[in-house]
Structures are given as structure tokens and as C-alpha cells.
């Protein structure tokens, strides 16, 4: 899917607006948000002003600090039930990864679902998520590798893996073609 520079700008504007709104809802200062997320006050301010494109790891830290799913940062509001979702593939960060939020985090269900595209040659290491978070990965096209405990495992189209995501993990695409996978992230009751 072709993407233009305007797509990246739109994501930056959305992230800026969402982060400001989340802080306002909670009455948090930048300093309080920095303590909760582990992301510097300066970086949070840059994101809110649209001056910085964070990494996916930074987005996960922000979401975790606010006790939200990643999709809560990427979507204004979840679609109503029985709505057909045609999600655009976003580049939410400076990483060479495209993310299509399919179903936003719903506290009643405890999960969010993404379609993730790893561009050729891309490697992403993820910091551990909060205790009890479980990821489900289903490869839908191409081939990729999943890292758990510093051990990379090859995954082909159709392979599925479930793992505790409260430990370091990662994804990589060493091939010449895009690798796409569905990533269902399940959160424990908060």
C-alpha cells in the first residue's frame, strides 16, 4: 500500500492530540506523565508539539504508563460494534514498521488487535510489557522471526505463536519481501 508524507504527518498530529488529551483527562503535568511512562518530560513535550516522531518502544512505554493499549494512542475512538473495519496502515513511529489498528483496546474484552507489516531487513526489539500481558502472533504473509529470551525462531505464513509478553521479545524480517502478521495483545484485568 502506497503511503505519502501526509500520512506520517496525520499520525504525528493524532499522537500529539491524544497525548495532550490523556494528560488533561488525568490532570497530569508533563513531569507526572514522565514519571508514569519512563519517557522524559522533554520527549513527551516534543511529541505533544508534533516535533518528534517516537519509536514504537517509546509509544509502548507511554501506553503502559497511562495503563492503556497502544491502539488508544493511535485511534481517536473505537468503532461501534458490527462496524466493518478498513484500517489504514500507519507508520506510528520512526521505525520501519507499519501498523494497522484493527480493533482498539476494549476493557470489557481485554485485548486489542493489530495487523503489523515488517519491511525487508527490519528488526524490532520490544521491552517487556506489563506483567500478565500475552501476545498472539499469526503470520499472514511472508516469513519472519520471533525472538523470545534471546532465541530467534523462524515463522512462515500460517504459523501462530502465543507468548507471555512481559519479557523481552522481538520481531525481524530478514527477507526481501514484506512480512505481515496479526498481533492480538491481551491485557490482564486492570
172, 104: one domain: yes
Average pLDDT over residues 63-91: 67
**What confidence score (pLDDT) does residue 53 get?**
79
- Residues across the chain: 190
Residue 114 lies in a domain: yes
Q: Is 66 left (phi over 0), alpha (psi -120 to 50) or beta?
A: alpha
**What confidence score (pLDDT) does residue 84 get?**
52
Q: Looking at 20, 39, 74, which one is the last position of a domain?
A: 74
**What confidence score (pLDDT) does residue 167 get?**
93
Residue 54 lies in a domain: yes
CATH code: domain of residue 47: 1.10.260.40
DSSP lists the bridge partners of residue 170 as 125, 147
Residue 80 lies in a domain: no
| Structural domain count, the chain | 2
- Place 104 in a pLDDT band, splitting at 50, 70 and 90: confident
116, 49: one domain: no
- The answer, yes or no, to whether residue 4 has pLDDT greater than 60, is no
**What confidence score (pLDDT) does residue 82 get?**
55
Range of the domain at 54: 5-74
**What confidence score (pLDDT) does residue 2 get?**
37
Higher-pLDDT residue of 85 and 24 is 24
Cell numbers 512462515 correspond to: 156
Lowest mean pLDDT across 5-19, 22-36, 72-86, 118-132: 72-86
- The answer, yes or no, to whether residue 119 has pLDDT greater than 50, is yes
Average pLDDT over residues 159-183: 95
Residue 81 lies in a domain: no
- Place 55 in a pLDDT band, splitting at 50, 70 and 90: confident
111, 44: one domain: no
Please provide the average confidence, as pLDDT, over all residues in the chain: 83
Q: Above pLDDT 70, what percent of the chain?
A: 82
64, 114: one domain: no
105, 158: one domain: yes
3-state secondary structure labels for all residues of the chain = CCCCHHHHHHHHHHHHHHHHHHHHHHCCCHHHHHHHHCCCHHHHHHHHCCCCCCCHHHHHHHHHHCCCCCHHHHCCCCCCCCCCCCCCCECCCCCCEEEEEEEEEECCCCEEEEEEEECCCCEEEECCCCCCCEEEEEEEECCEEEEECCEEEEECCCCEEEEECCCCEEEECCCCCCEEEEEEEECCCC
Amino acid at each position: 500500500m502506497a503511503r505519502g508524507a501526509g500520512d506520517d504527518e496525520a499520525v504525528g498530529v493524532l499522537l500529539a492530540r491524544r497525548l495532550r488529551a490523556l494528560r488533561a483527562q488525568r490532570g497530569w503535568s508533563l513531569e507526572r506523565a514522565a514519571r508514569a511512562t519512563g519517557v522524559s518530560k522533554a520527549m513527551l513535550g516534543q511529541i505533544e508539539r508534533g516535533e518528534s516522531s517516537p519509536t514504537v518502544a517509546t509509544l509502548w512505554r507511554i501506553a503502559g504508563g497511562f495503563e492503556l493499549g497502544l491502539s488508544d494512542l493511535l485511534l481517536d475512538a473505537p468503532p461501534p460494534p458490527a462496524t466493518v473495519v478498513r484500517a489504514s496502515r500507519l507508520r506510528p513511529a520512526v521505525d520501519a514498521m507499519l501498523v494497522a489498528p484493527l480493533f482498539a483496546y476494549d476493557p470489557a474484552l481485554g485485548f486489542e488487535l493489530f495487523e503489523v507489516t515488517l519491511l525487508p531487513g527490519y528488526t524490532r526489539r520490544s521491552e517487556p510489557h506489563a506483567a500478565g500481558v500475552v501476545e498472539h502472533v499469526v503470520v499472514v504473509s511472508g516469513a519472519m522471526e520471533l525472538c523470545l529470551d534471546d532465541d530467534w525462531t523462524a515463522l512462515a505464513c500460517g504459523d501462530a505463536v502465543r507468548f507471555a509478553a512481559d519479557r523481552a521479545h522481538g520481531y525481524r524480517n530478514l527477507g526481501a519481501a514484506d512480512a505481515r502478521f496479526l498481533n492480538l495483545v491481551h491485557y490482564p484485568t486492570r
